[in-house]
Structure 1
Amino acid sequence: MSELNFRTEDLTLQEVGDYFVETSMDRQTIDKLKSKKTVVLQGARGVGKSFLLKVAQKELDESFSDSRILAVYVTFNKAGLLQTSNPERFKHWMLAKVCNRVIREARKKGTLRQQSTIFATLSHDGTDEAAQIRLQELERDLEDAWKNEGVSSKFDSGIDPEVIKDAVEDLCLQAKVRRVVLLVDEAAHVFIPEQQRQFFTLMRDLRSPYLSVKAAVYPGVTYFGDSFQLSHDAEMISVNRDILDPEYLNAMREIVLRQDPSLLPQVKKNGEVFDALAFAASGNPRTLLKTVSAASPLNTSNAQRVMREYYRETIWSEHSALADRYVGHRAVIDWGREFLQTHVIPSLRTRQRQSEEPDRRVFLWVHRDAPVAVKEALRLLCYSGILHEAGSGLVATRGLVGTRYMLNIGTRTGAEPEPVSATAWLRKSISIKRMMEFGANHDLYEDIARLDVEEMDEEGREFLKSQLHRSVDQLDMTAFSRGVLKQLGFDTVGKILTASESDFQQAKWVGPVRSRQMMNIATAAVLEYLSG
């Protein structure tokens, strides 16, 4: 079996097109990403936000000569390196990065053949090329400032949102470009609320007839700020796949087979086993790819082992590990895990054994007036993919209003003696109308209700430094890549951040192409780790 790719960052645009399995929901989402609308794309880690952004970029690139719509993809995954005492650093880094990427894509498409006076004013010699070089240097200076906080760094990029809008308008009018679509991945660094508020203010300020912004964010840990009103300033789109959709299992199967067609005989022979893994993944392609890869060769015994390991241990330990990076939220993180593992899941399993009609509930309902700390704990569980919000403002028993959540199927069945058969049994009669309800003053809230969530948001500035010594073993990458990094001596987060492609070429059989791939994989894993 060939190695499956878990991350969009590891794929070329051509591979993105080859691996794309279109559903009606995906098509609607991609069309909105290509439209004039301002869009916030929300989903947990691994559900496919980056992939959909890349598909939209690829389609716009291929149709540019006819549509004249310029796609500009930009990732903010290095935002975690800008955790400093100077709040202006992040603002000017964002502005420089956006402006630089617009220039870069416009040059690639040949639309800057004539000098753009707005862009050119950003450089001393008055050319677009010089402006791009200056902006690239500014990006690097700001991203590298974490290495020595004491060294002064220039913070003023000379850009503001109005400058970017004017430059884009000039570009469109001069080059007959209809509009620019800005696709922002990793838009808001997960654990720095102030950076998130700055980004969404910028997102609102950049909106114009010639520029539309689309941004990918995580559920549960996104702070929009006071100046950005989601209901008025953007359309929210959830990427969560509906496990009750009749086409769900076929789509998930095709996602795996597009990457590795050689798996088809195993999947056909062990169809129910594959379906259990797909259903347990609860709509998350990355989770499915990981569990299928770990269960190779695919059979009941391997799938049972993987489901026990992943859904009883790995997914929970990853959630608890957030407390090391999100120190202010340690109490709610721990409470959320205990709430589900100690109370909710055992309660469902107990009912299954005692009642004549087995309990197939996987939905929870929580009253809208539940303590803020409780809702914060549930939001963080959504970020980890253990819960999925499945509707707000919903009426439950006695006409009360609250929010519905779906429990990750794997966490529900992974605790069973035979997770594969338990998952097959469960998926036959799940009903979205059957919920486990928790009122506004449930007894289980007692230990968490008194926490002050506002105090949790005050993040320490020493976060980055505290993470640099952590082992490469904690990064989400393949065993092969991890082994090569260790062999070369890059065994910690800090060492990887300071490495270069030439360093990786010291390994046997690693040349320029392979070293670039390794650098991209290693950097993506480090930056996702720093983002949570």
Structure 2
Amino acid sequence: MADDTADQADDSGLLLAAEECPRDEFEKYHSFAKYERAIIQRIIAHGPVLLRGGRGSGKSALLIESFLQMKRDYASSVLPVYISLRRLPLLRTEGTEYQGHLCEILSMEIHKELRRTELGTFPITKDVGALLQALEENARVLNRRIVLLFDDAAHIGRERPLEDFFDIFRTISTSRISCKASIYPGVTKFGLRFDVFNDATVIDISRDERKDDFHEIFVEITRKRFPQIAKKVVSSRSLDELSFGKIMGRAVTGNLRSFVFACNLMQENAAIGFNELTRCLLELSANYFWPLLDEVAPKLGSYEVLVPPSEQVAHLIFTACARRGATYVLVHRDIMQRQSKIFEILEYTGFISKREASRAMKSGGRGVVYSVNLCNLLEMTVGRRLTSELASQWTRTTEEAYELRYTNNEFAKIEIPAPALDERDLAILSKPISILKKSPTYPYGLTEDKVERLENAGLTTIKDVAEAEDNTILAINMVGKASLKRIKDVVYQAIWM
């Protein structure tokens, strides 16, 4: 059996998700600004922490860097365990069954980490009480604080099990056991026993263009992961590293995954100037952001019906902002109270990013402030051309916002259906594996060859591949360990991202 990795070579720079980066290469591809280093120290410190941020905002990278730093600098006093909760059983169960799966997954990962560090073993259990007892016993015997880092604790389309997760999170958080978890901004179902204000420290990690050092992380990542682009920027007649970092970081509302994708688009350019940036932003709008709505739809469960109106709301916001020269939208709290899921979907897919929870509106009342991405804004702007003057205007820290109220005639015309009352199984699970071929919707997708091999082996749906044992996939001709990881990564991205 040979391992065909040709399909991976084309995407060597497209490491969109931190959890897919090999640990021994993590430092090579990731950089952290000063304020992010401060967040890492708060993750390492005692006490439960919830790391809140949108898709591609860097939650996983911060958790993994915290994990690696604890292993490197605090090995004698801390035992860190990183646990990815991208597990299909956790999406399809709730109550006692969910708790059993979570405890088993957690105890297995702790056992693996103890074996890797040659510190002992850990009992595999499905019982919360037995899990807590074993954790406390190991912390006492090892004389180490145990830090549990839960990645992807929440899924945007499956909210019900979250109460079960936070119940366990609270139960096993003690003076010896520190729990940390990443969640997306729309999480509200914390359960009756978990008080989000008292039982954890919540850290919002969205990168705010209003901060003086906003551009630094984008400049550093360009130097580290895309040195050829960095050289072209330095030699550019119209740009320098500061202006490049500001405009591109601002274009994607501070989202690192979108920024990496943008840099991949620009790698083949002979030079980097405003003409190239214009093409890049328009390409991102047409073939990255809008397709994300198609990608996210089948993983929303009962909220899938809200994707078409979300697209209409996005068109309304970007058209109105382009007409007024605004890069922020202020959404009246009445809209947020009734249609918050619409804005949660738009924030999750990177169209907007929350900046303030409450601000007074000129016409009365209060609203939520969102920054809008410049890619879609440029698409709606007359002339569709980025110039130095427009870039300067868009990157100033002025916050004149377009105000969206219920009385807006265009908004009133949008029909917004009510989500189903019952939580449906995610439609993505029944989709054919062929939808994961490389495309604008799945730019990190599988090659035709890999899809055909999976189908010929009887793995025809995403659920089939997600549930398949590793040995089953490895038994397929021309699929080795590298291809197995690639296939699993793409399937997990399709379900969770």
**Structure-2-length-normalised TM-score:** 0.84
1:187 is aligned to 2:153: yes
Residue number in structure 2 paired with 1:459: 423
- Tell me the distance in 1 between the aligned counterparts of 2:292 and 2:191: 28
Work out the percentage of aligned pairs sharing the same amino acid. Answer: 19
Contact 1:201 1:227 in 2 (8 A): yes
* 1:62 paired residue among 72, 77, 83: 72
Alignment partner of 1:20 is 2:30: yes
The 5 A counterparts of 1:67-82 are 68-79=77-88, 82=91
> 163, 168, 172: which one pairs with 2:130?
163
Provide the residue aligned with 1:348 in structure 2: 321
Change (3 A) 1:465 1:345: closer
In structure 1, which of residues 336, 342, 362 is the aligned counterpart of residue 327 of structure 2? Answer: 362
Work out whether 1:338 is the aligned partner of 2:312.
yes
> Which residue number in structure 1 is paired with residue 55 of structure 2?
45
- The Cα shift of 1:190 comes to 2.3
Q: Deviations over 1:425-480 (max 9, x none)?
A: 43343413x2222335544453568754xx5452223746523455222674546x
Amino acid at match of 1:324: P
Equivalent of 1:268, from 225, 228, 234?
A: 234
Matched AA of 1:411: N
Equivalent AA in structure 2 for residue 11 of structure 1: C
* Pairs aligned (count): 470
CA contact (8 A) 1:367 1:401 kept: yes
Give the direction of change, closer, same or farther, for the CA distance of 1:477–1:440 in structure 2 (3 Å limit).
closer
Aligned mates of 1:389, 1:15 — CA distance in 2: 32
More deviation, 238-247/27-36: 238-247
Retained in 2: the 8 A contact 1:8–1:50?
Answer: yes
Task: Please state if 1:284 is matched with 2:284.
Answer: no
Instruction: Give, as a single letter, the amino acid of the residue that structure 1 aligns with 2:422.
Output: E
Three-state SS of the structure 2 residue aligned to 1:332 is: helix
Q: CA deviation at 1:95?
A: 0.8
Which amino acid in 2 is paired with 1:493?
A: I
Distance 1:466 1:308 in 2: 32
Query: In structure 2, which of residues 3, 7, 18 is the aligned counterpart of residue 8 of structure 1?
Result: 18
Aligned to 1:339, the other structure's residue is in SS state: helix
Shift of 1:61: 0.3
The AA in structure 2 aligned to 1:74 is I
Structure 2 counterparts to residues 252-331 of structure 1, below 5 A? 252-270=218-236, 271=239, 274-275=244-245, 276-298=247-269, 299-300=272-273, 301-331=275-305
Q: Is the Cα–Cα contact under 8 Å of residues 252 and 374 in structure 2 kept in the other structure?
A: yes
2:362 aligned partner: 397
CA distance in 2, matches of 1:264, 1:406: 26
Aligned match of 1:523: 488
Q: Does 1:412 align with 2:422?
A: no
- Work out whether 1:485 is the aligned partner of 2:450: yes
- Structure 1 residues 287, 501: CA separation in 2 closer, same or farther (over 3 Å shift)? farther
CA deviation map 1:248-275 (0-9, x unaligned): 2232021132124344322323446944
User: Which residue of the partner structure matches residue 234 of structure 1?
Assistant: 200
CA offset at residue 331 of structure 1?
Answer: 4.2
Q: Name the CA shift for 1:107/1:231 in 2 (closer, same or farther; >3 Å).
A: same
**Partners in 1 of 2:452 and 2:485 — Cα distance?**
18
What whole-Å deviation, never above 9, does each CA across 1:367-404 have from its counterpart, x for those lacking one?
Answer: 22336442221121111111111111322326622211
CA distance in 2, matches of 1:450, 1:517: 44
Q: How does 1:215-226 map to 2 (within 5 A)?
A: 215-220=181-186, 223-226=189-192
Task: Point out where structure 1 has 5 or more consecutive residues left out of the alignment.
Answer: 113-127, 136-156, 352-358
1:221 Cα deviation after fit: 5.1
**Residues 87 and 419 of structure 1: CA distance in aligned 2, closer, same or farther (over 3 Å):** farther
Residue 119 of structure 2 corresponds to 111
8 Å Cα contact 2:354/2:370 also seen in 1: yes
1:375 aligns with 2:385: no
Q: Among residues 93, 97, 117, which one is paired with 1:89 in the alignment? A: 97
SS at structure 1 position matched to 2:87:
helix
* 2:4 alignment counterpart: none
Change (3 A) 1:438 1:295: same
Deviation at 1:16, TM superposition (A): 1.9
C-alpha separation between the residues in 2 aligned to 1:34 and 1:483?
Answer: 43
Structure 2 residues without counterparts, runs of 5 or longer: 1-9
Q: CA 1:22–1:223 in structure 2 vs 1: closer, same or farther (change >3 Å)?
A: same
The secondary structure found in structure 2 opposite 1:193 is: coil
Q: Which residue of 2 aligns with 1:122?
A: none
- Cα offsets for 1:102-153 (capped at 9, x unmatched): 22223333332xxxxxxxxxxxxxxx47x45xx6xxxxxxxxxxxxxxxxxx
TM-score, structure 1 normalization: 0.79
Greater shift, 22-31 or 496-505, is seen at: 496-505
Maintained 8 Å contact 2:222/2:230: no
2-structure distance, mates of 1:383, 1:393: 20
Larger radius of gyration: 1
- In the superposition, relative to structure 1, how do residues 266 and 57 fare at CA in structure 2: closer, same or farther (>3 Å)? same
Checking the alignment, whether the CA contact within 8 Å between 2:173 and 2:179 is kept in structure 1 is yes
Displacement of 1:98 after TM fit? 1.2
